[in-house]
Amino acid sequence: MSRRVKEYFDQVSSQWDNMRKSFYGEEVRDAVLNAARISPDDTVLDVGAGTGFLTQGAAMIARKVIALDFSRGMSDESIAKLGKGKVEFRIGNVEHMQLPDSSVNVVIGNMVLHHCPHPDMAIAEMARVLKPGGRIAIADLQEHSYEWLRKEHADLWLGFKMEDVLGMMKKNRLEDVKVDELCSCCTSTQEEQRVKIPMFLASARKQV
């Protein structure tokens, strides 16, 4: 991960939960968790877990959740909020995860790809750690033209074309791939003006 991205999230970690509410709501979490079809026996990996937006919901269902984030500040906020319990917190890079092949049943993630220097590598890693038949569900921004987000929020990518996400997932032994528009929009501000950026939800299953 980029040092600039890590520094940004370490810096905003204590305010992130309030910031997040102005960007997107609980409907995004519901959409990701519904698409992931988590069961009580599952081990779930939440990539770019942040302060636990998805982790909290997944932990209500799954046997175990691994919350992976590269920012210790964000992870510490999540630990303070959720406690450890059935959640294992790890500091790490989604593009080079220290997890064995075929070790989790479900991978979930929200707003992580546009902070990855190599989103294709991130998706390849998610597919690698999934067990055959395992499920993946990730949400992120659709392609947009708001260059100022690179500076204000350390975005590395200005969203993604949905067909490009479809292609990245299909080339990693993922099938039943769906990339749909999310009703929710990501909102942010620039000089007191609010903008709306459409999101997408990508889901798939690893080949058996």
Q: What is the pLDDT, as a whole number, of residue 94?
A: 96
Q: What is the pLDDT, as a whole number, of residue 144?
A: 92
What is the domain-level CATH number for residue 99? 3.40.50.150
Q: What is the pLDDT, as a whole number, of residue 21?
A: 61
* CA–CA dist 170, 185 (Å, integer): 25
Q: Please give the structure tokens belonging to residue 2.
A: 């980029």
Q: 176-183 — which CB contacts under 8 Å span 24+ positions?
A: 176/203, 176/204, 176/205, 177/202, 177/203, 177/204, 178/35, 178/202, 178/203, 178/204, 181/142, 182/28, 182/31, 182/139, 183/27
Q: Please give the structure tokens belonging to residue 29.
A: 């979490």
Contact 44, 38 (CB under 8 A): yes
* CA–CA dist 45, 169 (Å, integer): 17
Domain count, the chain: 1
Q: 37-43 — which CB contacts under 8 Å span 24+ positions?
A: 37/106, 37/135, 38/62, 38/106, 39/105, 41/105, 42/104, 42/105, 42/106, 43/103, 43/104, 43/105, 43/106
Q: What is the pLDDT, as a whole number, of residue 3?
A: 72
Q: If you search the block for the tokens 């299953």, which residue do you land on?
A: 205
Instruction: Identify the three-state secondary structure at position 66.
Output: strand
Q: What is the pLDDT, as a whole number, of residue 15?
A: 66
Ordered per-residue pLDDT tens for the chain, 208 residues:
567 666 665 666 566 556 666 677 788 999 999 999 999 999 999 999 999 999 999 999 999 999 999 888 888 889 998 887 899 999 999 999 999 999 999 999 999 999 999 999 999 999 999 999 999 999 999 999 988 888 777 789 999 999 999 999 999 989 999 999 997 777 666 665 677 889 999 999 999 9
Structural domain of residue 124, as residue ranges?
3-206
Q: What is the pLDDT, as a whole number, of residue 73?
A: 87
